[in-house]
Structure 1
Amino acid sequence: MQANAKRYMLHFGGSMLAYMVVLFGSVAWLNGHETGPLVRGLVALLPVIPGLVALWAVMVFYRSLDEFKQRLIAEAMIIAALLTGFGSFAYGFLEGALDLPAIPTIWIFPVMIGLWGLVGCFQKYVVYR
């Protein structure tokens, strides 16, 4: 494994571990304490901090790649963003017409990241073979 990939795995993996610890800690704290909205909002946002570190790790890794790999990743992200946007757009119409339940916005980012991975796999093994 290349040095930049090892560094990425260390930084990204560490930030995801920190994210899980902070997430569970903040949820437990919020469930066990009654405070004002400002404190609750700040505690609820604490998991965003290790999430930002993960985004930083992704960008550092992306910049360490050659131009072809950067293009693959960028195209996959664009396609994933478009599919996520169009899917939420279409579901919005169905939600109103068929009285479907609203999907919480917290699911938008995980869906986009999941689609990014799927599109990346599809590209690597089908489009650029």
Structure 2
Amino acid sequence: MSNELGKKEKKFLVKFMLHIAMFLAVLALSVLLNETNDLSIYSTGFLAMTPVIPVIFLLQLVVKHYRSLDEYIQRVMGESLLWAVGVVGCAAMAYGLLSEMVEVPSISLAFMLPAIAVIFGVAQSIKLASDTHEE
């Protein structure tokens, strides 16, 4: 069974990396086309949003993989995601409130999803480590 699980995990990781590669390729192409051509505002807006398309397919892949996992791992991932969204959401709200009171550098909203992903990974590692120590 673990060999089957290993194959499933490896297949998921390969697909995951392919989706990330597609995202990076579309991002590079959209930036290159935007900088080398004099495009209308609509074309520029379309190019700016095209890298989201591979991310949507990546999300679909992750949800499908999540559904195939056992209940314990789903519970760990769910709690980790709640922590990640909560931490990033609170940080965004705090930064927004701070920016209303004092002059602070602007931060692009494009960094929210990567921040959620990083905090999700950290929270998941902490949760799995704490559960291992409890046993």
| TM-score between both structures, scaled by the size of structure 1 | 0.92
In the TM superposition, what is the alpha-carbon distance from 1:98 to its structure 2 partner?
3.0
Q: How does 1:95-106 map to 2 (within 5 A)?
A: 95-106=99-110
1:114 to 94, 103, 118: 118
Q: How does 1:118-129 map to 2 (within 5 A)?
A: 118-126=122-130, 128-129=131-132
**Aligned residue identity for 2:41:** P
In the TM superposition, what is the alpha-carbon distance from 1:103 to its structure 2 partner?
1.5
In the TM superposition, what is the alpha-carbon distance from 1:120 to its structure 2 partner?
0.7
**Secondary structure in 1 matching 2:106:** coil
Other-structure match for 2:63 = 59
**Aligned residue identity for 2:7:** A
- The yes-or-no answer on 1:82 pairing with 2:89 is no
**Aligned residue identity for 1:83:** V
| TM-score between both structures, scaled by the size of structure 2 | 0.88
CA contact (8 A) 1:84 1:112 kept: yes
1:37 to 41, 59, 71: 41
**Secondary structure in 1 matching 2:58:** helix
| Unaligned segments of structure 2, at least 5 residues | none
**Aligned residue identity for 1:16:** I
Other-structure match for 1:12 = 16
- RMSD after superposition: 1.3
| Unaligned segments of structure 1, at least 5 residues | none
Distance 1:95 1:40 in 2: 28
Give runs of ≥4 in structure 1 deviating > 4 Å: none
In the TM superposition, what is the alpha-carbon distance from 1:51 to its structure 2 partner?
1.1
Distance 1:103 1:44 in 2: 17
Percent identity, aligned pairs only? Answer: 26
Other-structure match for 1:26 = 30
